[in-house]
């Protein structure tokens, strides 16, 4: 009779462990391993038409250190017209891992996307030519906390988990007594 009780507890414990692993288990490996990072920034994200804008690429190696001597090229990935231009390079990063080029916004209003390719890395940055600066962002309305009607789903899941857990213990208890 004691063996059956131990088996029941072992089964209940195993089921709980499987459930916990299923809820918490995630794959964290990254393949292939990262080769570094590339950040691309524009001096002005809302320039006037026909304005020249500095575009800067910052390259870091896989250890997060500045990557000097990396060759970078620049292209226009998207534009609203056909006369925006960027000095394509190639350019080589300095001791701080930085390299810059110049974007001419052209005569058409809209978003211009510049792409930088530095070694195996690439990144995009967009500017909106001829547009006024966007108004400051504001936070959305999120409700009133505990009085919000969407909280019921969360608490229903918590209650269901508690019922399943208590039921499993009750079954294990009965099997242990049998």
- What is the CATH classification number for the domain harbouring 53? 2.60.40.10
pLDDT band at 139 (very low <50, low <70, confident <90, very high): confident
Q: Alpha carbon 39 to chain centroid distance?
A: 14
Give, in degrees to the nearest 5, the angle at Cα 92 between 88 and 98.
Answer: 95
**Does residue 96 register a pLDDT over 70?**
yes
User: Does a structural domain hold residue 155?
Assistant: no
Confirm whether 171 is domain-assigned: no
> How are beta strands 110-118 and 91-92 bridged, if at all?
unpaired
pLDDT > 90 fraction of the chain, expressed in percent and rounded: 47
Return the pLDDT at 131: 75
Q: Which two tokens stand for residue 154?
A: 């969360």
Asked if the structure places residue 18 within a domain, the reply is: no
For residue 151, being part of any structural domain is answered with no
Calpha distance 72→134 (Å, rounded): 31
| Pairwise CA distance, residues 155 & 150, whole Å | 10
Examine residue 31 and state whether it is found in any structural domain, yes or no: no
Which run of H or E residues covers position 19? helix 2-24
Inside any domain, residue 165? no
Residue 178 located in a structural domain: no
Query: How confident is the model over 104-109, as a mean pLDDT?
Result: 93
Does 104 map to a domain?
Answer: yes
Q: CA nearest 165: which of 25, 21, 19? A: 19
Instruction: Give me the number of domains the chain comprises.
Output: 1
CB 12 within 8 A of CB 164: no
Residue 101 confidence (pLDDT): 96
| pTM, rounded to two decimals | 0.57
Residue 63 lies in domain = 37-129
User: Which is higher by pLDDT, 144 or 118?
Assistant: 118
- pLDDT higher than threshold 70 for residue 95: yes
């Amino acid at each position: 009779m004691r063996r059956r009780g131990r088996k029941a507890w072992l089964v209940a414990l195993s089921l709980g462990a499987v459930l916990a692993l299923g809820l918490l288990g995630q794959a964290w490996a990254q393949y292939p391993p990262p080769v570094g990072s590339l950040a691309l920034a524009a001096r002005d994200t809302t320039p006037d038409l026909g304005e020249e804008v500095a575009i800067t690429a910052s390259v870091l190696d896989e250890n997060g250190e500045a990557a000097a001597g990396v060759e970078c090229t620049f292209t226009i990935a998207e534009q609203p017209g056909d006369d925006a231009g960027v000095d394509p390079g190639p350019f080589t990063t300095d001791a701080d891992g930085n390299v810059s080029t110049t974007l001419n916004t052209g005569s058409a209003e809209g978003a211009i996307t510049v792409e930088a390719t530095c070694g195996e890395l690439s990144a995009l940055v967009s500017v909106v030519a001829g547009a006024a600066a966007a108004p400051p962002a504001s936070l959305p309305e999120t409700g009133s906390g505990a009085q919000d009607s969407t909280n019921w789903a969360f608490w229903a899941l918590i209650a269901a988990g508690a019922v399943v857990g208590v039921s499993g213990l009750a079954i294990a208890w009965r099997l242990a007594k049998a």
